[in-house]
Structure 1
Amino acid sequence: MTITSKIIEIGPNAIVESDPIAILFGPEATSNLKSVAVIQDFEDDHPKFNLKRGSQIKIHDTTYTITFCGELVNANLQGVGHVTLCFTPIPETPLESAIYLSPEKFPKFSVDDKITYIF
């Protein structure tokens, strides 16, 4: 199954070159969250996620494989379109609201780009 979203906004403090993470939220995010987040809008009004280790996410032209999927990820994505994408090795104590991805290469995020969740 696939679920696709479109990037509709990128906060002025969302992309930090030295920090290989991206915080995603849906369009209902508060203005404070929008300033530090990539805002995505799903094509489906009520997407049902079942992401897990081995699922994939395509951003721009790169397909990433999920190496860790936190326990809160699917519910957060379904509820408020939120997930933290980490392009780093899995730490000893990973974030339960995060997805860790391989390759560990930070993507280019642009307004109107698609993000495809494949599971």
Structure 2
Amino acid sequence: MITSEVIEIGPNAIVENDPLVILFGPEATSNLKDVAVIQKFAKQPLELNLRRGSQIKIRDHTYKVTFCGKLVNANLQGVGHATLCFEPVPDTPLESAIYLSPEKFPGFSVGDKITYIS
């Protein structure tokens, strides 16, 4: 189990009726910070092994991973990046994305914890 904290939310990070959020670590560029939720992990280095069936907890919502792209674990460990998609897995899913069920967007606030359970 690995936990991060939301430390910043870009002004264009949350788009109404868009069921995804882009996560990045604190070292993201200002352009990325504009469209991302910035998370800071409690400890480094990360040892993540997310896959289908893993869980992610955001606030008091627990989500099941229905698809985990092949770039996700390395991106999270390197720059804190992943795209969380609260929608069904499409025919061609993003390799940098985690698709989650139930497909209900939780909302995000500074100070929220995101827990990754592999």
Task: Give the TM-score range, shorter chain.
Answer: over 0.9
- 1:69-117 superposed Cα distances (whole Å, 9 cap, x missing partner): 0000000000000000000000000000000000000012000110000
Structure 2 residue 16 is matched with structure 1 residue 17 = yes
Structure 1 SS opposite 2:32: helix
Q: Which residue of 2 aligns with 1:42?
A: 41
TM-score normalised by length of structure 1:
0.98
Structure 1 SS opposite 2:4: strand
Identity fraction in percent: 76
Structure 2 SS opposite 1:112: coil
- 1:39-72 superposed Cα distances (whole Å, 9 cap, x missing partner): 0000012111100000000001100000000000
Q: Which residue of 1 aligns with 2:52?
A: 53
TM-score normalised by length of structure 2:
0.99
Q: Which residue of 2 aligns with 1:71?
A: 70
CA distance in 2 between counterparts of 1:43 and 1:15 reads: 24
Structure 1 SS opposite 2:35: coil
Q: Which residue of 1 aligns with 2:80?
A: 81
CA distance in 1 between counterparts of 2:64 and 2:13 reads: 22
Where does the alignment leave 5 or more consecutive residues of structure 2 unmatched?
A: none
Q: Which amino acid letter does the alignment assign opposite residue 38 of structure 2?
A: I
Paired positions, count: 118
Q: Which amino acid letter does the alignment assign opposite residue 93 of structure 1?
A: T
CA distance in 1 between counterparts of 2:88 and 2:112 reads: 25
Structure 1 ranges of 4+ moved more than 6 A = none
Q: Which amino acid letter does the alignment assign opposite residue 17 of structure 2?
A: S
